[in-house]
Structure 1
Amino acid sequence: MRLTMTKYKHLTLSDRNDIQLGLERGETFKAIGHLILKDPTTVSKEVKRNRQVRESTCDKLPCPLLDKAPFVCNGCPKRRQNCGFKKIFYLAKQAQKQYEQTLVEAREGTPLNSKTFWDMDKVISEGVKLVKPVELTLTRISTGFWDFYQTNFHLD
């Protein structure tokens, strides 16, 4: 009997703890993914996205082993020794905090004052009144208004 992967579900703290433990045991992304019912690519992206550098090793050169899977020192036999390289770890609690912060930021939205709202409305309404295709309206927005919008709303 083969268990199917869960699709379109966010990783939980429990999943992240399993990833951290799997990395510490030296398991592959495939084995970890099978354990938590996620694709190995999901596990790999999670680890790469949430790596943490140990501050005491920041000024050192990165370990050449970090260029390939698992991209962290969690399972390295020399991790508790002073190997002389920068140490990078996957920490489940930190990854969960980062995930939760990302959710909060995504739900905050863009602050929009009245003037900016009406400026945007004017540009879009003119395009609609002239029965211009959406692409032309978006092009018009991007050639000046978009710069104004980015400047005022600090988009990265």
Structure 2
Amino acid sequence: MKNKHLTLSDRNDIQIGIEQLKPFSAIAAKLGKDPSTISKEVRRNRVVKENSVTSNCDSCPLLKKAPYVCNACPKKRINCGYQKQFYYAKRAQLDYEAKLSDSRTGVALNKEEFYRMDEIVSAAIQKG
């Protein structure tokens, strides 16, 4: 399956599309992806802006629907009283690369630890 994963270029296109108020369907068509892929990407990788929370602890009602972030909000530069969330392509790519690396990291065991675990597991399997 070709082009299964989003690239930094794809993520940049998503960020630019959001900032230009394009719907996820238009962004997805440009990238050759399903709109749900774009939606999941944005929701998974949105970042809370530090010091954006004021006395109002509620979430902005606009964050509950697409585009799920404040990138194109006209109030993003002022204190609206809500927690601000943004999608940043570079940050999303770094998080993706870290997750990819972590998922491929094995368990670090030396020979003795490995054989000891093997004995324990083998004994448990033989007991049933």
TM-score when scaled to structure 1? 0.70
Indicate yes or no: 2:124 matched with 1:120. Answer: no
Q: Residue 83 of structure 1: SS of its match in structure 2?
A: coil
The 1:112/1:8 distance shift into structure 2, 3 A limit, reads farther
Q: Whose Rg is larger?
A: 1
Q: Residue 12 of structure 2: SS of its match in structure 1?
A: helix
Following superposition, the deviation at residue 80 of structure 1 comes to 2.2
User: Aligned residues: percent identity?
Assistant: 54
Indicate yes or no: 2:20 matched with 1:13. Answer: no
Following superposition, the deviation at residue 108 of structure 1 comes to 2.3
Please list every run of 5 or more consecutive structure 1 residues that lacks an aligned counterpart in the other structure.
1-5, 137-156
Looking at structure 2, the residues matched to 55 and 107 of structure 1 have their Cα atoms a distance apart, in angstroms, of: 31
Looking at structure 1, the residues matched to 80 and 110 of structure 2 have their Cα atoms a distance apart, in angstroms, of: 54
Following superposition, the deviation at residue 86 of structure 1 comes to 0.9
Q: Residue 34 of structure 1: SS of its match in structure 2?
A: helix
| Ranges of 4+ aligned residues in structure 1 off by more than 4 Å | none
1:67 matched residue in structure 2: 64
- Tell me if the contact between 2:53 and 2:83 (Cα under 8 Å) persists in the aligned partners: yes
CA-to-aligned-CA distance 1:51-104 (integer Å, 9 cap, x gap): 111102145532111112211111222222221211100000111111111122
Greater helix proportion:
1
Q: Amino acid of the residue matched to residue 108 of structure 1?
A: T
1:40 matched residue in structure 2: 35
Which of 75, 81, 86 aligns to 1:84? It is 81
Which of 91, 95, 98 aligns to 1:98? It is 95
Looking at structure 1, the residues matched to 53 and 66 of structure 2 have their Cα atoms a distance apart, in angstroms, of: 21
TM-score when scaled to structure 2? 0.83
Following superposition, the deviation at residue 43 of structure 1 comes to 0.8
Looking at structure 2, the residues matched to 119 and 43 of structure 1 have their Cα atoms a distance apart, in angstroms, of: 46
Looking at structure 1, the residues matched to 2 and 34 of structure 2 have their Cα atoms a distance apart, in angstroms, of: 9
